[in-house]
Structure 1
Amino acid sequence: MAKPIDLSSLDLAALIASRVCHDIISPVGAITNGLEVLDEENNEEMREFAMDLIRKSARQASAKLQFARLSFGAAGSAGAEIDLGDAHSVADGYMAGEKSDLVWNVPRLLMGKNKVKLLLNLLLIANQCVPRGGTISVEMLNEDAQAPKFRLTAQGLNARIPAMIADLLSDEDVERIDAHAIQPAYARLLASDCNMSIAMEKLEDSVVITAG
């Protein structure tokens, strides 16, 4: 059994790296496939299809990398602040390739980087709560950059709270923490660093995540 707090710094770094690689393997692989079609095909229709695939996949790979840089990366020096407008931009780019629509109602403020990283990681968790798609609304319930209160509402068909995510966010023991589970575990560590707590509530057709 394991808890996020039990992870060594080396294990945490390795699992985060694995998670980022997992996210970008698919669009990068699609780019490779498209290039192979261009090399082998003379049919103009197939070549245009390949070019469309390459353009779309390149946009997805770029969006996922930009999102990962802000949500998992160093994002400046210790104590650095991040513009929430930048967080909005990378969130829009990331969600453009997902099944759910993003509604962002967060004021444009400068905020400590770990709090911004927490917000983006909560967006990833909200996205997992509506695997068949829907709408994810992101709100800040106050305008205090030092002590923010976030609320994310994931609404969609068969909205649910995945059991492992609930356990990881509440610091319960889990069977193991692997590359799939590291993201909510990392969110838990970010919340602890920011002196914030995370709560999740299942309603009729939505999941509400709050942090503050």
Structure 2
Amino acid sequence: MITVTLDALDLSALLCSRVCHDVISPVGAIVNGLEVLEDENDAGMRDFAIDLIRKSARQASARLQFARIAFGAAGSVGATIDLADAEGVARGLFGDEKTKLTWSAPRALFPKNKVKLLLNLVIIAVTAIPRGGVIDVAVTGEAEAPVFVLTCKGSHARIPAHVEALMAGTPESGTVDAHGVQPYYAGLVARAAGMQVGFAIDGDTVTIRAEPAAV
């Protein structure tokens, strides 16, 4: 397999495309709601528009806060991140969604790249149960050598297509696009954090496990 290496400009451009894709939908809904408020006199429709704007603004904010930690700097080089903050932005992603999140982790500061990896694995976990279900996140071990186990249970559970190759940096296509950049980036972060990630499936349950890479 050929290892794909993106230069800094291509990687940043693809990540920007990914973040924009995530927020376009709720921002577009806000615009639609505002247009209804401008043109509609019916009280019921105006209430509907206000509710749409409120929910969409909350969703856009949650996605941006998540992206700030999962993809952004979120602090200076070498900084640590509180796992409680990671939990907060992760829970914000789900809101009224069909997928529920349970979270078991110490209230502690962990190295930034390890927290970024954990949040990127949450994104991958969501795609493992496309029809919804429950994602259980468990963090054990010390901050410098943690173990992350994400258990994803739901109908039609599957290991997301191409995710393992993308995380290894060896996509079958030999290229990385905006759709595949997130797992590719997760693989980069895992290697930077000295972690290895494995996937397993048993019936309607997919398990994602990240642990310190073997020396």
TM-score range, shorter chain: over 0.9
SS in 2 for 1:184: helix
Shift of 1:96: 1.4
Counterpart of 1:15 in structure 2 is 14
Q: Deviations over 1:118-159 (max 9, x none)?
A: 0000000000100100000000132x0011110001100000
Distance 1:173 1:9, change over 3 A: same
Counterpart of 1:174 in structure 2 is 172
- Equivalent AA in structure 1 for residue 179 of structure 2: H
Counterpart of 1:36 in structure 2 is 35
Counterpart of 2:190 in structure 1 is 191
Higher strand share: 2
From 152, 155, 175, the equivalent of 2:150 is: 152
Counterpart of 1:114 in structure 2 is 113
Contact 2:149/2:210 (CA < 8 Å) preserved in 1?
Answer: yes
Shift of 1:164: 1.3
In structure 2, the gaps of 5 or more residues are none
Query: Sequence identity, in percent?
Result: 56
Contact 2:197/2:209 (CA < 8 Å) preserved in 1?
Answer: yes
Shift of 1:203: 1.0
User: Are 1:200 and 2:199 an aligned pair?
Assistant: yes
Which whole-Å CA distance do the structure 2 matches of 1:208 and 1:154 have between them?
6
Contact 1:3/1:174 (CA < 8 Å) preserved in 2?
Answer: no
In structure 1, the gaps of 5 or more residues are none
Which whole-Å CA distance do the structure 1 matches of 2:7 and 2:25 have between them?
29
Shift of 1:172: 2.8
Which whole-Å CA distance do the structure 1 matches of 2:32 and 2:89 have between them?
26
Contact 1:100/1:134 (CA < 8 Å) preserved in 2?
Answer: yes
Which whole-Å CA distance do the structure 1 matches of 2:28 and 2:161 have between them?
31
Alpha carbon RMSD of aligned pairs, Å?
Answer: 1.2
Contact 2:66/2:90 (CA < 8 Å) preserved in 1?
Answer: yes
User: Are 1:165 and 2:170 an aligned pair?
Assistant: no
- Number of positions where the alignment pairs a residue of Structure 1 with one of Structure 2: 210
Which whole-Å CA distance do the structure 1 matches of 2:171 and 2:75 have between them?
33
Structure 2 length as normaliser, TM-score? 0.94
Which whole-Å CA distance do the structure 1 matches of 2:184 and 2:7 have between them?
13
Contact 2:33/2:50 (CA < 8 Å) preserved in 1?
Answer: yes
Map 1:50-129 onto structure 2 (within 5 A): 50-129=49-128
Moved more, 93-102 or 188-197: 93-102
- Equivalent AA in structure 2 for residue 30 of structure 1: A
- Equivalent AA in structure 2 for residue 164 of structure 1: H
Contact 1:200/1:208 (CA < 8 Å) preserved in 2?
Answer: yes
Q: Deviations over 1:184-205 (max 9, x none)?
A: 0000000000111000001111
Moved over 6 A (4+): none
Which whole-Å CA distance do the structure 2 matches of 1:98 and 1:82 have between them?
26
